[in-house]
Amino acid sequence: MQKLSINRHKLFIAMSAASLSVLSSGAMAQAQTETSDKPVIEAPVLEEMLVTGRQQSGAQTLTQERMEDAFAADLMGADQISRTGDTNVAVALTRVTGVTLNQGKYVYVRGLGERYSSVQLNGAQVPSPELTRNVLPLDIIPSSIVESLKVQKAYSPDLPASFGGGNVDIRTKSVPDEFVLEMTLGTGTNTNNDSNNLSYSGGSKTSGLPKPIDQALDTYQGVIDINGIRRILSTEVDNSVTPEQAQQSIQINRDLALAVNRNVDIKKDKPSLDQNGAVTLGNAWELGDDWTLGSMLNWSQKTEWRNKNQARRGVGAPDVTYSSIKRSTEDTKELASIGVGIKFQEMHELEASYMKIGNETDEAAITLAQNSNNNLADGNQKVTYETRYQDRELEVTQVLGKHVFDQLSGNTLGNFDLDWFYSDSSVKTNIPGASTIGGDNTVDPQTGEILATRITSSSSAQFAYLNLQDDVRSYGLNAKLPLSFDNAEITLRGGYSYNDKSRQYYGYTALIDVGGGDYLLGTPGNVFTDSNISNLDNAFELTMSRGFGTESYIAAQMTDAAYGMIDANFNDVWRFTAGARYEDYRTALLPVDLLDYTGITLQKLIEELAKDGQTFSSRSDDWHPSAALTFINDGFMWTETFQLRLSYAQTVVRPDLRELSDVVYIDPELNLRVQGNPNLVFSTIDHVDLRGEWYFDGGNNLTATLFYKDIANPIEQKLNPGSDTDIVMGFYNAESGEIYGVELEGLMNLDYGFFLSGNLTISDSEIVSPDNQGFTNATRTMSGQSPYVLNAQLGYDSDDGKHGAALSYNIAGKKVYFAAFETGHDDAFEQPFSSLDFTYSYYPTEKLTLKAKLRNLLDEDREITQTNASGQKVTILTQEVGTSMSLDISYKF
């Protein structure tokens, strides 16, 4: 292969230079509780929020932070997450007002898709290991390392300007104040797991593009089919070969085919029980009177086996075109982290941490399909065998500092606060083997029993090898200086951040053409044997799939940002906060053809870069203002504290590098193909929020929010033209969009240890697509926006502190899944999914905890429906979810 392993910084410099030549030419600090001497808003006493007090301390701190934030935010602490039994950040966030999840891992805030939501880790940006998504898949982050989650829904200048629905900051546990040792073991299963689980033997990290093929690509200049090999072997001007050379070409090609890992025969197997374990170890040491040193170690691992069976129907002819997919996955997530911190009095803190998250997924699927050419009544059926192994790794190294300087404090000046961070993270996604093989079944028309199978003649068995690496480096600082006057407290804030991101995405696809003959009888394990491929009488031939700019690319982004804010509190009645953020953003993406050894595609790229209107690179710089006005009235409407906030902001949402590339990906969750669009442009958003907060005695509270967002050039998802069952998703810019709604959230303590909490979001939206572009509905609701989202929880704590339980319910109304395009059919909608979960905790001693969890008690399935041009409503996709159950035991020393 061509050697394209490029040093990260050299790659970035090269890409930036390309961008700047064509053009002629964010990070949020870790949130913290205010420590200034100015008067602060007093939080209500929350001792009765939970009777046993297991959540009191954390809830008080987070409520205080929420009240002191000038901009609307919702927070959730580790104790609250533990109560609901949520094992990862993704599920935990569904308890937050207006937050929904797509495919169980991607955040939607206020109905805006994941590209409109940003995720940070301790205030720093980190890359995503997903091939098809911009944001971090939150299901890979275990809740065991989370100290708190902050979802900020109103923009403030200390956040990255790429802000749509909200920003999620995952704040991990810092070093402890005392000795901690906790161990957890658990197991579980799912009702869909049975003896029909599918498995195969070929998936592993050590597979990948075989070395003989790698070397042959160099030897034969990227063309390793029989004719390509003949051309290199030929010594004649007209590329003619001798009979011996012709035979040698066939043998070389067949030997290369033998090098492909063809151990992909799928068999039925009984899945194992889920397994999980975790260990936390930490301690703190006093170093004299002023210094404290602490350290924390975390390790966790979880393996799940799941059947994710699907049923699909073609919207145009659902009774003719349909398929059933038996699909099984084995998913392992592992985390290891270490943190070391040192503190001097309460004035200076320094913390360094390293985290590595791994995720391995092995998948096998068999699709049985009918269409107009393969009718069950005639005994014909199409079959597709698919296997896929994916290995993802996220590594994050961070250094955080907090400093308080009191040397200048006096009558007017308060303590000068400074915090800073440095973060270096990388993600690697490796698919060392993914296979797709098509066949034909002969079946009994009456029973559907499979009588015989053969690999489809004149087809190709496909073996894909993909590798993605993202490197993100960011650093920044934030400063705060309070000023005290007779009738006002004024705080000046400012900061700077830098972020760069580089990416290398390389993909190969090897094809084994099968020809035709009796040797194709049977499943892949019967056909693609060494003996069959070695037999030169069989018409096998290895080729490489080609295509300019459709398989590989290199890319880079760079963002410089600075902001300033003023926060004025007048007599604890009125508070005015205003500021702006300046961002200079550059990006470039260049396609790479790994099979081009002639330089033709490179020369074509150079010519394209020189043209006006090229789409390979772009640059933008702008100011993003934000302002908030808060009215405070303690005692209003029988409250201990009442606040009313009005805020306005202007932000931008930029397409991700994946969305700008012309590469086709596989969505691993729904097994759909996704293709980027290099012509996407940025979306700009105007935000208006009005939020009222009522805090009553005993911890009861109520929050009501009105919000409105006006979006120019919103990025939407559509269905690209194709067959009914071969779904290809794409992206485009609509002309305009808006979303508006109301959020309600409350907590009420009941008698006998019970409490009720919940939130409701009611919203509406409109998206206007370009006219005459083939959309069925040029004006419709935005993709992913639900008209309502409801979360409710009934909790219980026994008086003796030995029992705790929570019954949690979540539902989101139907939402547009994709916009219909050039089909005459209506848009596709994902139907409401009612999630009812139950968690029971038993504390026989202060050190021992037993926890039982049940998920999806209603046994709901995910469904996507679409109304066809004839007015018939068709369920085009149904995915089984099943009811999950687990049991954990934890011991604290």
717 touches 819 (CB < 8 A): yes
Do 587 and 493 sit in the same domain of this protein? yes
Tokens of 529: 């044997």
Residue that is last in its domain, among 259, 293, 320: 259
| Structure confidence at residue 721 (pLDDT) | 61
Report in angstroms the alpha-carbon separations of 255 from 227, 325, 518, 520: 15, 34, 21, 19
Task: Provide the pLDDT confidence category of residue 746 given band limits of 50, 70 and 90.
Answer: confident
| Structure confidence at residue 47 (pLDDT) | 33
Please check the confidence at residue 761 and state whether its pLDDT lies above 80: yes
Please check the confidence at residue 495 and state whether its pLDDT lies above 80: yes
Residue that is last in its domain, among 222, 243, 259: 259
Per-residue pLDDT tens over the stretch 424-438:
999 999 999 899 999
Do 724 and 819 sit in the same domain of this protein? yes
State the average pLDDT over residues 251-269.
95
Do 765 and 865 sit in the same domain of this protein? yes
Please check the confidence at residue 59 and state whether its pLDDT lies above 70: no
Count the Cβ atoms, other than its own, within 10 Å of residue 382: 18
Average pLDDT of every residue of the chain: 85
Give domain status of residue 642, yes or no.
yes
405 touches 416 (CB < 8 A): yes
Distance CA 145, CA 149 (A): 11
Please check the confidence at residue 724 and state whether its pLDDT lies above 70: no
Q: Please state the domain count of the chain.
A: 2
Residues with Cβ within 8 Å of 599's Cβ and at least 6 positions away in sequence, in order, are none
Task: Provide the pLDDT confidence category of residue 72 given band limits of 50, 70 and 90.
Answer: confident
Give domain status of residue 782, yes or no.
yes
Do 782 and 830 sit in the same domain of this protein? yes
683 touches 732 (CB < 8 A): no
| Structure confidence at residue 442 (pLDDT) | 96
Give domain status of residue 2, yes or no.
no
- pTM of the entire predicted model: 0.84
Give domain status of residue 3, yes or no.
no
Do 273 and 401 sit in the same domain of this protein? yes
Report in angstroms the alpha-carbon separations of 141 from 126, 474, 854: 13, 20, 20
Select the highest-mean-pLDDT range: 156-165, 269-278, 574-583, 800-809. 574-583
Tokens of 453: 């199978």
Residue in the structure block whose two tokens are 């300033």: 564
Tokens of 674: 């996704």
377: which DSSP letter?
G
Q: Are strands 672-675 and 450-455 parallel, antiparallel or unpaired?
A: unpaired
| Structure confidence at residue 327 (pLDDT) | 94
The size of the chain, in residues, is 893
Q: What is the CATH number of the domain that holds 112?
A: 2.40.170.20
| Structure confidence at residue 36 (pLDDT) | 39
Q: Which helix (H) or strand (E) holds 170?
A: strand 166-172
Do 333 and 217 sit in the same domain of this protein? no
3-class state of residue 183 by DSSP: strand
Do 557 and 639 sit in the same domain of this protein? yes
For 333, half-sphere exposure in the C-beta direction (CA atoms, 13 angstrom radius) is 17
Do 290 and 217 sit in the same domain of this protein? no
Do 53 and 165 sit in the same domain of this protein? yes
Residues with Cβ within 8 Å of 187's Cβ and at least 6 positions away in sequence, in order, are 273, 274, 275, 276, 886, 887
Residue that is last in its domain, among 259, 287, 322: 259
- The region of weakest confidence among 5-14, 525-534, 567-576 is 5-14
Please check the confidence at residue 750 and state whether its pLDDT lies above 70: yes
Give domain status of residue 1, yes or no.
no
Do 690 and 766 sit in the same domain of this protein? yes
> What residue numbers bound the domain in which 233 lies?
212-259
What burial class does residue 846 get, using C-beta atoms within 10 Å of its C-beta: 0-12 exposed, 13-18 middle, 19+ buried? exposed
Please check the confidence at residue 644 and state whether its pLDDT lies above 80: yes
Do 77 and 216 sit in the same domain of this protein? no
Residue 501's DSSP bridge partners are: 472, 557
| Structure confidence at residue 890 (pLDDT) | 94
State the average pLDDT over residues 361-386.
93
Please check the confidence at residue 356 and state whether its pLDDT lies above 90: yes
Tokens of 641: 């504290």
Do 226 and 326 sit in the same domain of this protein? no
Residues with Cβ within 8 Å of 478's Cβ and at least 6 positions away in sequence, in order, are 29, 158, 418, 419, 420, 493, 494, 495
3-class state of residue 538 by DSSP: coil
Q: Are strands 779-780 and 641-653 parallel, antiparallel or unpaired?
A: unpaired
State the average pLDDT over residues 204-230.
90
Give domain status of residue 820, yes or no.
yes
Q: Are strands 835-842 and 848-855 parallel, antiparallel or unpaired?
A: antiparallel
Please check the confidence at residue 583 and state whether its pLDDT lies above 80: yes
